[in-house]
Chain A
């Protein structure tokens, strides 16, 4: 393929745009993210292709497999362009009807449209569904719109214009200045100002420098970076090219989680296409600037998301952090000056260069500019990917976008920032999305995982769960983290088992302070947060476990009796039907009885009982 120059890139953009505008085609934008693949979108897509062929519609209708659309819980999803009609939960059997009714007779298939859970009305148009209507897509501007495996789709949406501008019209200082003006802070968790990081690395002496992209996304419950890579991989590559120009680097690596096969394959396709077209490699766009990118797959260690550990891992060593300074800006990968940025940070860069830092900073709060992507999951109606302006309240995310809590349950808390972040309770839901404001309520912005928990979640059990994670992922290099988190976990396990004593609380607090002060890296320093955060807002649950040997949320098996309360039992038989051990006896119009001899304490009956009658 012929390599592009600035000139031909711009011509190509013009041509693709006018072709698209002149096109009278209908586009079927079918979601091809990991979530929709799992719910069967590939079969649906194949069926659609077959049906279009059978009805002779191939010329007029085109299927585009996009990256993650964001509304993951409703998959498989499709948006019909230009009508903007949104279809959800499509099955192969629905395809014939969609094609005949919608595409031929222009009548959308009502039963597959989104139905508002409150008003019970159908909302046919994508942009009118509250989940989408309250969002501000910037980083995610191409999600669900382009085919991530097609470089021309990206180019048609002004792709690589920012790289061209940076390579031809801007010097390193100009780029750094623009990024500083934007006020963007690292989206990987720590929130360090990106412009400053770039400036340090730019000023650092050395001929060899590296640009690294952190796509390790180890934080469980976070899938922002995966979705960006699956939906718009070129945006990340373009961000890396601009970073490379800013520090004069020739080589970049993307450190990607091995658990993300689809993201890795799309990235690889993007890199190959960009190289073929002269957008990566030697003499990019004829500018004389060389920059190459390689994917490096991780091997399943959470701590490798930490910057110094990540660099050791690329060097082929055990991924253990080292003390800083020296900072990566001076001594990073192979001891050379290195920039490391998160996927979302880098994906923002092209728009900052094109539209200007001031444009970017026009949205947000005093100290937190632009938008932030959240992965909303857990006990919430609208699970999915959400991009909101900084300053939006958590309440708006949970209720306006997330649609509230399912099954008439009550909201208990939203965990932000992963296992070592914190849980924000109901009375603080009006906290805005802002690095400082979130820190003030004892959580962290983190990378964007937001896991909503309802009143059936036991906060002591959650603290135990998070501590188990941290203890398991501790690399073992420093004692406070290795031993301290293990002791914390033991105490929490004891409390969940009903063997806690009142002194345990003080012991945990003391240990926590010690670990925070003395651990080597961020993993250990923030490790005690699950304990501190849950004690701060949910102390009563700890007290109930310790003093009354009672688990108010009924999750800790050791503290449950596995008996049915005859006053609450509605005699529905749901528990009886669900029990895998045949331990429940029940007959119509009779209260269920659990045989404790047979019961394996699997908790299925608790899950099934809608009336909280089992205790």
Chain B
């Protein structure tokens, strides 16, 4: 089928098999590139350059087109992520309720900036625009867990549980 799989330290053989499946399922559907990128990122954790090239070839789309899409949408990341992604809501309700202080506190403790990853790849800190849980503001999501009402003085206790 598609191009030869490039070598990449972050992409295991199992992941490549999954990637091929994703491409196969979607390659004949118009407009499915966003779905393919999302699912591939879900499999690999991020979108390395080699993977984007491979996807472009498999989907029969110009590289420039696929890069264009990947860089436009904030969901997609071309750099590796930490083991845990801390999504901090920077929506209005959370801002009014003090998410700024929460972000400062996390950044201070783990030495990580917004959009960055800690050196030991333990955490990525990702600001998101409203998680739709404004009733619990300020809100933070780590992995699949939503944490509401996270004041600056409580936040480190929560984050520190994720090793």
Interface residues, chain A, with chain B CB atoms under 8 Å away: 34-35, 37-39, 72-73, 75, 217-223, 226, 257-260, 263, 296-302, 313-319, 334, 375, 377-379, 383-384, 415, 418-419, 449, 451, 453, 457, 462, 465-466, 469, 473, 475, 578, 580, 600, 602-604, 607
Whether B92 and A451, one on each chain, are in contact in the complex, defined by CB atoms closer than 8 angstroms, is yes
Cα-based distance from A514 to B100 in the complex (angstroms): 31
Task: Name the residue in B128, B151, B152 with the highest tally of chain A Cβ atoms < 10 Å from its Cβ.
Answer: B152
* Number of B positions contacting A (CB below 8 A): 48
Whether B73 and A580, one on each chain, are in contact in the complex, defined by CB atoms closer than 8 angstroms, is no
Q: 10 A–B contact pairs at CB < 8 A?
A: A35-B136, A37-B146, A39-B148, A218-B130, A220-B92, A223-B130, A258-B75, A300-B73, A316-B69, A462-B95
Cα-based distance from A576 to B147 in the complex (angstroms): 26
Which residue of A383, A457, A469 is within 8 Å of B134 (Cβ)? A383
Residues of B within 8 A of A334 (CB): 30
Residues of A within 8 A of B11 (CB): none
Which residue of B37, B90, B98, B148 is within 8 Å of A607 (Cβ)? B98
Cα-based distance from A220 to B146 in the complex (angstroms): 17
Cα-based distance from A209 to B95 in the complex (angstroms): 41
Which residue of A34, A222, A226, A316 is within 8 Å of B34 (Cβ)? A316
Residues of B within 8 A of A299 (CB): 34, 37-38, 73-76
> Which B residue's beta carbon lies closest to that of A319?
B72
With A38-B147, A72-B135, A603-B100 known, 4 other A-B pairs at CB within 8 A are A72-B136, A217-B132, A223-B132, A258-B38
Whether B34 and A419, one on each chain, are in contact in the complex, defined by CB atoms closer than 8 angstroms, is no
CB distance from A82 to the nearest CB of B (A): 27
**Given contacts A39-B136, A419-B92, A219 and B72 within 8 Å (CB-CB):** no
**Given contacts A38-B133, A38-B147, A457 and B96 within 8 Å (CB-CB):** yes
Q: Total A-B residue pairs with C-beta atoms closer than 8 Å?
A: 159
**Given contacts A220-B91, A299-B76, A384 and B135 within 8 Å (CB-CB):** yes
CB distance from A71 to the nearest CB of B (A): 8
Residues of A within 8 A of B92 (CB): 220-221, 378, 415, 418-419, 449, 451, 465-466
**Given contacts A316-B30, A378-B96, A580 and B129 within 8 Å (CB-CB):** no
> Which A residue's beta carbon lies closest to that of B31?
A316
Which residue of A35, A302, A418, A607 is within 8 Å of B101 (Cβ)? A607
> Could you mark each residue 141-163 of chain B with 1 if its beta carbon is under 8 Å from any beta carbon of chain A, else 0?
00001111001110000000000
> Which A residue's beta carbon lies closest to that of B35?
A297
Residues of B within 8 A of A318 (CB): 68-69, 72
Which residue of B38, B93, B147 is within 8 Å of A221 (Cβ)? B93
> Which B residue's beta carbon lies closest to that of A304?
B73
